[in-house]
Amino acid sequence: MKQVYFLVADSVHRFAEGKIVVVGIFDVINAKAVPILFRPFGVAIRLEAGKTQEGRTYKGVLTLSKFRSAKPMFSASWTITFGKRDRGAPASAVLAMTVPFVQFESFGTYVFEVKTGRRCVASTKLYVREVEEAVPSGGGE
């Protein structure tokens, strides 16, 4: 299994026919003070299957933790099924979900991880940065 992309955005919506709409990609949250209760946001993750993973179903968990902390502040279960290769293109699966809210207790680096069992198959970092004047959006740069 290989990570193709891992996006954090203001909104992620997946339609029944497979189309994914991602609005407002960011990796930095600007805040005047902490703790900060951050509004709903979405994640979109595309994974490619290796030959031995084609046609298989996997269950796992998406977590968000302070960098180098073992205690997740958010977690959600997921299930994906990889199809078969089509005309040489690798089989892939997309996870798209909404994170209802997260309370960030401190400034610094946070990490999203997608795990199957103990194995991390995808990850990305999210930064909470102190600013004098808060930016109204997610604050991606």
Handedness of CA 68, 32, 41, 102 (dihedral sign): positive
pLDDT tens, residue by residue, 72-122: 999 999 999 888 777 777 888 889 988 888 899 999 999 999 999 889 999
Tell the residue number behind the tokens 């997946």, with chain if given.
14
Taking the CB of residue 61, how many other CB atoms lie within 10 A of it? 14
Domains in the chain, please, with CATH?
2-130 (2.60.40.1930)
pLDDT tens, residue by residue, 47-74: 998 888 888 899 999 999 999 998 999 9
pLDDT of residue 141: 42
Q: Could you tell me the CA-to-CA distances from 73 to 46, 87, 99, 121, 137 in Å, in that order?
A: 23, 41, 11, 19, 22
Statement: residue 140 has pLDDT above 60: no
- For the entire predicted model, the pTM comes to 0.84
Q: Is 78 exposed, middle or buried (0-12, 13-18, 19+ CB in 10 A)?
A: middle
- CA–chain centroid gap for 131, Å, is 24
Question: Per-residue confidence at 134, pLDDT binned at 50, 70, 90?
Answer: low
